Structure 1
Amino acid sequence: MVRYLQAMASHSSRAAATRDTPPAPRPATTASRVGHGRVPVTELRVRDIMKRPVTGIGADTPFLDVARMLGRRQSGAAPVVDDERHVIGVIAESDLLAKAASLAAPERPGALSGLRRRRAHEGEGATAATLMSAPALTVQPGTLVVDAARAAARSRIRQVFVTDYQDRLVGVVSRSELLQALVRDDAEIRAEVVGRVVEGEFGLAAADVDVRVENGTVTLTGSLTAALIPRLTEAVAGIADVVEVEDHLVATA
């Protein structure tokens, strides 16, 4: 969670660094999903991470068909669309459970029997339009990922549906995909430490510095000239998603 909040809050500027100048703070970055290189987290768009198509449910789809669709998809929710694919609402499993239980309950003799039959009949006649919640949480392909993540955090739905400028359904992103886009894993952090900092900015061999990353904490081990050690640790500390740098480097003459 700490690394997630750090990535969301990072707005520092990128600066070029060389071997002879200390590295300057730069914006948090994450790998683009569409092959455009590394994109600052603050500039990453929903279209960069959206990779799953989604099929909407027609507004007049009967209750039982809606329940079967959600059961097969195992997505927890689906958008409800009109004939032109405009998103008019969202239907979640929680919207269906009470009616599904009424339909599945066996008949019992007694005063409540008639009430159960009436509820079952109402459930059979329900459609997606009568069961959905509106309006649905939607974003556009050009929406910033950080903004989409904030909106998703306030919603009970695990998916955020993506629409074009005419509110027509074009895709979906999940909470987990938004989180993954904002926070890199340890392997990606280590690759940047070794490739961009150790080998790139400082011109060292990868074997000169042992780099290990666990939960965002970078541990540096090896032997370097005394002047290089503080510069190296400062450069590593400036990398996006690095929580802490543990310096076990030994100074040489």
Structure 2
Amino acid sequence: MQHRTVGDLMTRGVIQVHRSASLKEIAVSLADNDVTAVPVVDDLRHPIGVVSEGDLVARIAERPDPAGPVVYAAPTRRDGTAGDDVTAEALMTAPAECARPEWTVVEAARAMESAGVKRLPVVDEAGRLVGIVSRGDLLRVFLRRDGALREEISRDLLVRTLGLAPSSLTVEVADGRVTLKGRVDSAELVPVIERLCLGVDGVVSVDTEIVSRSGETVDWSIG
């Protein structure tokens, strides 16, 4: 079976800002490219963090309120800056949680969930930025047509991988939900089939109505 990787799904030519970029430069980059966050890179294009709209808003919220009391001296922050004289490196969330192009959708999803982020910069073997993958990119695997899922399960999984006869099981797919019916030699094969089906990109759930050659009926569902 062919699984889509992060390299297949990621956006290439990713928008990025240098660690020395100013707040104004970051805001312009976000607005001009209609994105909500960008990786921050060093001189070698290694991602060192991510700066988002939220980071910029948090900085703006620290400024004196024009409708509030008059402040005669601009406060100096812990980073030694006043006003908006601050760089991407000071604003960013760091370190950058990164992915590799060869990662599976599951690996990327787990990394996002673990780090609590919506996107991952993607780096090559040298740690250089080559793309970015978002939650929306990962969900694209669920846009696969039911016919493509049925063909992959019937041909690649059941026949080529497991060596089952084409007539042994019928495969029905509706909105990514797979139903398998038929006969197998052993009931112990059923959970193997289910797990392999769930590993097919775009499958939402798997229902089985399978009878073993010994006559035992196995009715499981996963998803």
TM-score under structure 1 length normalisation: 0.58
Give 1:107's match in structure 2, choosing from 63, 66, 90: 66
1:178 aligns with 2:131: no
Query: For residues 184 and 132 of structure 1, what CA distance do their matches in structure 2 show?
Result: 33
Contact 2:40–2:92 at 8 Å: present in 1 too?
A: yes
Counterpart-to-counterpart distance in 2, 1:246 and 1:230: 9
- Residue deviations 1:153-190 (CA, integer Å, cap 9, x gap): 12233111011222211111112323444x57561323
Query: 1:13-162 counterparts in 2 under 5 A?
Result: 38-39=1-2, 41=3, 45-101=5-61, 107-108=66-67, 110=69, 113-114=70-71, 118=75, 122-162=82-122
SS in 2 for 1:75: coil
Match of 1:107, SS? coil
1:68-123 deviation per Cα after TM superposition (whole angstroms, max 9, x unaligned):
222333433211112221212211221111233566x862263xx3179658x834
Distance of 2:91 and 2:22 partners within structure 1: 10
**Residues 230 and 172 from structure 1, CA distance in 2 versus in 1: closer, same or farther, beyond 3 angstroms?**
same
**1:243 paired to 2:196:** no
Counterparts of 1:236 and 1:132, CA distance in 2: 45
- Identical amino acids, percent of aligned pairs: 29
Aligned residues of 1:102 and 1:116 also touching (Cα < 8 A):
no
How far apart, in 2, do the equivalents of 1:210 and 1:86 lie? Answer: 46
Measure the CA separation in 2 of the matches of 1:162 and 1:46.
Answer: 8
Q: Which has the higher helix share?
A: 1
Q: Secondary structure at the match of 1:125?
A: coil
* 1:213-252 equivalence runs, <5 A: 213-218=174-179, 229-231=182-184, 239-240=197-198, 241=203, 242-245=205-208
Distance 2:73 2:206 in 1: 57
Deviation of 1:148 (Å): 2.5
Structure 1 unmatched runs, 5+: 1-37, 221-228, 248-253
Verify the 8 A CA contact 1:57 1:66 in the aligned structure 2: yes
- Note if contact 1:56-1:85 (Cα within 8 Å) is conserved in structure 2: no
Q: CA RMSD in A?
A: 3.9
Q: CA deviation at 1:54?
A: 0.5
In structure 2, the CA distance between the partners of 1:203 and 1:172, relative to structure 1 (3 Å rule), is same
Structure possessing the higher relative contact order (Cα contacts under 8 Å, 6 or more residues apart): 1
- The one-letter amino acid of 2:57's match is L
Letter in 1 for 2:54: S
Partner of 2:216: none
Query: Cα 1:123–1:144, aligned 2, differ >3 Å: closer, same or farther?
Result: farther
Cα gap change, 1:100 to 1:47, in 2 (>3 Å): same
